[in-house]
A and B are shown apart, each in its own frame.
Chain A
Amino acid sequence: MILAIALMSFSATMAIKGSNTVFPVAQLWIEELEEKYPDLQITLEGAGSSTGIAALFNGTADIANTSRWMKESEISKMHEDGSYFIPFVVAYDGIALIVNKELGIDNITTKQLKNIYTGKAKRWSQVDPNLPNKPIIFYTRNTASGTYETFSKKILGDDRMDPRARMVESTQLEMESVSKNPYAIAYVGYGYVNDKVKVLDLNGVTPTLDSILTSEYFLSRPLFMWVDATDGFPNTGDVKKYITFGLSEKGQELVEEAGYVAAYGQ
């Protein structure tokens, strides 16, 4: 009896895993959906894009949120397994570069940024002689993060990130550290930015809804939700309900509420 209940409630639960960046969007959608369909049970976990894709492969998630496209290794694994995952673009996001409010810098170039993260510039005065001669404390997300993937691909290219980069497990931790530490710099999803930190312009472009959607802002990217369509497109069921809602007018409104740029309806 108890087992039956456990099984029933288990089968009725839809699991979503993946990117920390997409997390706030999924959270808002779930809140709204659970009001609409009280029977619907959804669990949400943010542990990095790679974790989401890995969970889709081993069947522990129904939807994988990612803030990056699939890696080559994942695509070839998909071919090997004979599985077929399809992406939905749910929103656009910019990676915002944040520093402490006290630091006298408003704009940074991709070159300066690369120098910081490859360890060539170790002090702020080496970035700009007007800045204080203090060490640069630079934060990065861990390697499971899609934000990390996008950032290192677009800024570092083939170069390695300096090992002195502080790898942290969550975006909140980066925000917390930068808001307290006058000489820290970090990169976070645009949706996480609040007024405790200062957002830098990149190559003279301010990250705004407009500049992100048009990719005029260099560090912009689409956000995805991946669905397993190995046995055909999921025409019915909870996954379909969820995706349909997300791409609806209301769903896209919630994307903007989460601080990102709506992918549709502009």
Chain B
Amino acid sequence: MVIGLTSRDLKNQTNTVLINIIAFSGIVILVLLTSFIVKESLPALTNVGAELFTSQYWYPTDTNNPEFGMLALLVGSLYITGLTSLFVIPLGYIVAFFLYEYAGEKEIKFIKSGIDLLSGVPSVVIGAFMLVYVSPLFLEVGIYSPENILLAALGLTILSLPYTASLMQEALSSVDRSLKEGALALGSTKFTAGFKVVTRAALSGILNAVILTVNRVIGETMVVLMAAGGAAIIPQSLTDPARPLTAVIASEMGEVAAGSMHYSSLFVAGLILLVISFGMTLIARVIIQRYKHG
């Protein structure tokens, strides 16, 4: 009996330790990754300094006079992310709202499996699709800059719509049914009950969905590498090209000499993205806390 008990204890303890190790490994990886990126970007941050953020000229391979300005790249990233958010957040909300409020069982099944399928499409396929089928449409209407921030934003919208819609639908569904039923019993229409009562109650979840979407969009690489046009300028219009930070990292990391200033400044690009993502997550946390207590 005594032996049986200890072996059970042992089993339990081993399992606990294993689960703990695996659970913490995620955090360890995050810490390692962050310290790695910081360490590699230090040479550029100390040697190049403010030029990284104030200059818009990205000429890292210029042999006589290299320049490492990331302003245009950063602005490109932000423009495309902003534009995509403008498209995908309302669209995602409408899809989620329809699924929550109006769709019958068959429609839910149909739309849900459509969303699932769409979320499985690799970003490189979406990039190629935008390039081959959508960008020639610009030429037909007399816009001779067929790879541009609008094209990239449309591609990113297709890519992130399933994600946004599912997150928002989850947020709506997590609201207690009694709220909606109460609103309906008081005579409000389906739309008012959903839009004014349930959405307000689900606001923290929806904002969380928004932030997760933005986070995902700003880090996306393949679509912007293929469709954004690849010119490192600050875009002045929707049909101007751009070269976002992620595209630069993907395009140049493979050729760069390890330890060079170019190499280090690519890590600064990664650090910028990391800081943005970290900041967004922090904001999401604060919002959720505030709405929970308020």
Contacts and interface: CB of A to CB of B under 8 A. Distances in A.
Interface of A: 47-48, 50-51, 54, 71-73, 77, 134-135, 137, 142-144, 158, 160, 163-169, 173, 176-177, 180-184
B252 A181 contact: no
Contacts of A166: 147, 229-231, 241
Contacts of A167: 230-232, 243, 251
Interface bracket on B: 20 to 34
Contacts, number: 78
7 contacts: A48-B254, A48-B255, A73-B260, A135-B144, A143-B60, A144-B252, A163-B233
Nearest to A54: B255
B225 interface: yes
Given A135-B145, A163-B56, A177-B146, 14 more contacts: A48-B254, A50-B255, A72-B63, A142-B251, A143-B60, A143-B251, A144-B254, A163-B72, A164-B231, A165-B231, A166-B230, A176-B132, A181-B146, A184-B144
Contacts of A177: 146-147
B58 interface: yes
A180 B144 contact: no
B241 A160 contact: no
Contacts of B233: 163-164
A190 B175 CA distance: 63
Nearest to B241: A166
A182 B139 contact: yes
Contacts of B58: 163
A163 B232 contact: yes
A123 B2 CA distance: 90
Contacts of A137: 144-145
A111 B201 CA distance: 66
Q: Which 4 A-B pairs have the closest CB atoms?
A: A144-B255, A50-B255, A167-B230, A143-B61
A201 to B, nearest CB: 24
A143 B144 contact: no
Nearest to B225: A169
B257 A183 contact: no
B165 interface: no
Contacts of A176: 131-132
A51 B139 contact: no
Nearest to B60: A143
Contacts of A50: 255-256
B231 A134 contact: no
Contact of A182 (B144, B229, B260): B144
A193 B72 CA distance: 33
Contacts of B63: 71-72
A100 to B, nearest CB: 10
A137 B143 CA distance: 11
A266 B252 CA distance: 38
A49 B28 CA distance: 37
A48 B61 CA distance: 14
Contacts of B241: 164, 166
B62 interface: yes
A163 B60 CA distance: 12
Interface in B235-290: 241, 243, 251-252, 254-257, 260
A40 to B, nearest CB: 26
Nearest to B138: A181
Interface string B135-168: 0100100001111000000000000000000000
A45 B241 CA distance: 28
A180 B139 contact: yes
A166 B230 CA distance: 5
B87 interface: no
Contacts of B243: 167
B139 A181 contact: yes
B191 interface: no
Interface centre among A72, A137, A183 (most CB of B within 10 A): A137
Contacts of A183: 144
Nearest to A47: B254
Nearest to B229: A166
B254 A163 contact: no
Nearest to A170: B226
B136 A180 contact: yes
A134 B229 CA distance: 18
Contacts of B255: 47-48, 50-51, 54, 143-144
B98 interface: no
A182 B140 CA distance: 11
A158 B66 CA distance: 12
A166 B251 CA distance: 13
A48 B225 CA distance: 16
A143 B254 contact: no
Nearest to B140: A180
